[in-house]
Amino acid sequence: MDPDSAIVTIEFEEVEFEDLLDSLIKEIELKNYRVLKVANVDNIKDRVGLTKDLEIVYSHYKIIEFCNLFTCSAMTVADSRAGVFLPQRFALYKRVDETLIELSYLKPTAVAKFFGSKEMMKTAIILDTEMNDVISAIEE
Protein backbone atom coordinates (compact mmCIF):
# COMPACT_ATOMS: atom_id res chain seq x y z
CA MET A 1 0.00 0.00 0.00
CA ASP A 2 1.49 3.32 -1.12
CA PRO A 3 0.86 5.98 1.58
CA ASP A 4 0.89 8.81 -0.96
CA SER A 5 -2.00 7.32 -2.91
CA ALA A 6 -3.81 5.72 0.04
CA ILE A 7 -3.89 8.72 2.39
CA VAL A 8 -5.77 11.89 1.51
CA THR A 9 -4.73 15.21 3.06
CA ILE A 10 -6.74 18.41 2.76
CA GLU A 11 -5.59 21.83 3.96
CA PHE A 12 -7.73 24.51 5.58
CA GLU A 13 -6.83 28.14 6.15
CA GLU A 14 -8.51 31.06 7.84
CA VAL A 15 -10.64 28.93 10.14
CA GLU A 16 -10.51 28.27 13.86
CA PHE A 17 -9.47 24.75 14.80
CA GLU A 18 -12.37 24.16 17.22
CA ASP A 19 -14.90 25.45 14.67
CA LEU A 20 -13.52 23.09 12.03
CA LEU A 21 -13.56 20.17 14.48
CA ASP A 22 -17.17 20.92 15.44
CA SER A 23 -18.20 21.16 11.78
CA LEU A 24 -16.44 17.91 10.96
CA ILE A 25 -18.20 16.03 13.76
CA LYS A 26 -21.56 17.51 12.80
CA GLU A 27 -21.16 16.50 9.15
CA ILE A 28 -20.05 12.97 10.08
CA GLU A 29 -23.19 12.60 12.16
CA LEU A 30 -25.38 14.04 9.39
CA LYS A 31 -24.09 11.23 7.14
CA ASN A 32 -25.55 8.75 9.64
CA TYR A 33 -22.23 7.78 11.22
CA ARG A 34 -21.68 7.62 14.93
CA VAL A 35 -18.66 9.43 16.32
CA LEU A 36 -17.19 6.87 18.69
CA LYS A 37 -14.28 8.83 20.08
CA VAL A 38 -12.18 11.92 19.67
CA ALA A 39 -8.64 11.11 20.75
CA ASN A 40 -6.95 14.23 22.07
CA VAL A 41 -3.36 13.48 21.12
CA ASP A 42 -2.48 17.12 21.75
CA ASN A 43 -3.33 16.97 25.44
CA ILE A 44 0.07 15.44 26.23
CA LYS A 45 1.37 19.00 26.51
CA ASP A 46 -1.02 19.52 29.44
CA ARG A 47 0.22 16.54 31.46
CA VAL A 48 2.38 17.61 34.35
CA GLY A 49 5.86 16.12 34.33
CA LEU A 50 5.70 14.64 30.85
CA THR A 51 6.54 17.67 28.77
CA LYS A 52 9.91 18.66 30.23
CA ASP A 53 12.01 17.07 27.46
CA LEU A 54 9.21 16.46 25.00
CA GLU A 55 9.20 18.37 21.74
CA ILE A 56 5.69 19.63 21.01
CA VAL A 57 5.16 20.31 17.31
CA TYR A 58 1.34 20.36 17.23
CA SER A 59 -0.86 22.91 18.90
CA HIS A 60 -3.82 20.68 18.04
CA TYR A 61 -4.03 17.02 17.05
CA LYS A 62 -7.33 15.13 17.17
CA ILE A 63 -8.19 11.69 15.82
CA ILE A 64 -11.90 11.36 15.17
CA GLU A 65 -13.11 7.75 15.06
CA PHE A 66 -16.49 7.06 13.49
CA CYS A 67 -18.53 4.12 12.29
CA ASN A 68 -21.78 3.18 10.63
CA LEU A 69 -22.78 -0.32 11.68
CA PHE A 70 -23.99 -1.20 8.18
CA THR A 71 -20.73 -0.28 6.42
CA CYS A 72 -18.64 -1.72 9.24
CA SER A 73 -20.58 -4.98 9.03
CA ALA A 74 -20.29 -5.12 5.24
CA MET A 75 -16.53 -4.62 5.38
CA THR A 76 -16.00 -7.32 8.00
CA VAL A 77 -18.36 -9.77 6.28
CA ALA A 78 -16.29 -9.36 3.10
CA ASP A 79 -13.14 -10.15 5.09
CA SER A 80 -13.12 -10.57 8.86
CA ARG A 81 -9.59 -9.11 9.03
CA ALA A 82 -10.91 -5.74 7.79
CA GLY A 83 -11.58 -4.83 11.40
CA VAL A 84 -7.94 -3.87 11.83
CA PHE A 85 -8.73 -0.78 9.74
CA LEU A 86 -12.00 0.05 11.52
CA PRO A 87 -13.49 2.28 12.73
CA GLN A 88 -12.78 4.86 10.06
CA ARG A 89 -10.71 7.86 11.18
CA PHE A 90 -10.02 11.44 10.35
CA ALA A 91 -6.86 13.04 11.77
CA LEU A 92 -7.22 16.79 12.20
CA TYR A 93 -4.08 18.66 13.17
CA LYS A 94 -2.34 22.02 13.30
CA ARG A 95 1.36 22.63 13.90
CA VAL A 96 2.59 25.11 16.48
CA ASP A 97 3.00 28.64 15.10
CA GLU A 98 1.12 27.86 11.86
CA THR A 99 -2.30 28.87 10.66
CA LEU A 100 -2.71 25.92 8.30
CA ILE A 101 -4.93 23.08 9.54
CA GLU A 102 -4.68 19.68 7.87
CA LEU A 103 -7.12 16.80 7.73
CA SER A 104 -5.91 13.34 6.69
CA TYR A 105 -7.57 9.98 6.27
CA LEU A 106 -6.93 6.54 4.84
CA LYS A 107 -9.08 5.93 1.77
CA PRO A 108 -11.45 3.00 2.30
CA THR A 109 -10.86 1.99 -1.34
CA ALA A 110 -7.13 1.64 -0.58
CA VAL A 111 -8.05 -0.77 2.21
CA ALA A 112 -10.32 -2.74 -0.13
CA LYS A 113 -7.52 -2.92 -2.73
CA PHE A 114 -5.21 -4.21 -0.02
CA PHE A 115 -7.60 -7.10 0.65
CA GLY A 116 -8.48 -7.63 -3.02
CA SER A 117 -12.16 -8.07 -2.16
CA LYS A 118 -14.80 -7.04 -4.72
CA GLU A 119 -17.50 -7.11 -2.04
CA MET A 120 -15.42 -4.90 0.24
CA MET A 121 -14.71 -2.54 -2.67
CA LYS A 122 -18.44 -1.92 -3.19
CA THR A 123 -18.80 -0.73 0.39
CA ALA A 124 -15.48 1.13 0.29
CA ILE A 125 -16.60 3.17 -2.72
CA ILE A 126 -19.72 4.26 -0.83
CA LEU A 127 -17.65 5.12 2.23
CA ASP A 128 -15.10 7.05 0.12
CA THR A 129 -17.93 9.07 -1.42
CA GLU A 130 -19.48 9.83 1.95
CA MET A 131 -16.15 10.90 3.43
CA ASN A 132 -15.58 13.20 0.45
CA ASP A 133 -19.08 14.60 0.95
CA VAL A 134 -18.25 15.36 4.60
CA ILE A 135 -15.12 17.21 3.54
CA SER A 136 -16.94 19.12 0.80
CA ALA A 137 -19.54 20.26 3.30
CA ILE A 138 -16.96 21.62 5.76
CA GLU A 139 -15.00 23.35 2.99
CA GLU A 140 -17.97 25.58 2.18
Digits of tens for pLDDT over the chain (140 positions)? Answer: 677 789 999 999 999 999 999 999 999 999 999 999 999 887 766 665 665 666 678 889 999 999 999 999 999 999 999 999 999 999 999 998 889 999 999 999 999 998 999 999 999 999 999 999 999 999 87
Instruction: Give the pLDDT score at 118.
Output: 93
Whose CA is closest to 63, among 36, 86, 89, 31? 89
Whose CA is closest to 109, among 133, 86, 126, 89? 126
pTM over cut 0.85? yes
Cβ atoms of residues 88 and 65 within 8 Å = yes
Cβ atoms of residues 107 and 121 within 8 Å = no
Other beta carbons within 10 angstroms of residue 82's beta carbon come to 22
Interatomic CA distance for residues 42 and 62, integer angstroms: 7
Interatomic CA distance for residues 5 and 2, integer angstroms: 6
- The correct answer on CATH 3.30.310.70 for the domain covering 3-139 is yes
Task: Give the pLDDT confidence of 20-58 residue by residue, as tens digits.
Answer: 999 999 999 999 999 999 998 877 666 656 656 666 788
Interatomic CA distance for residues 27 and 132, integer angstroms: 11
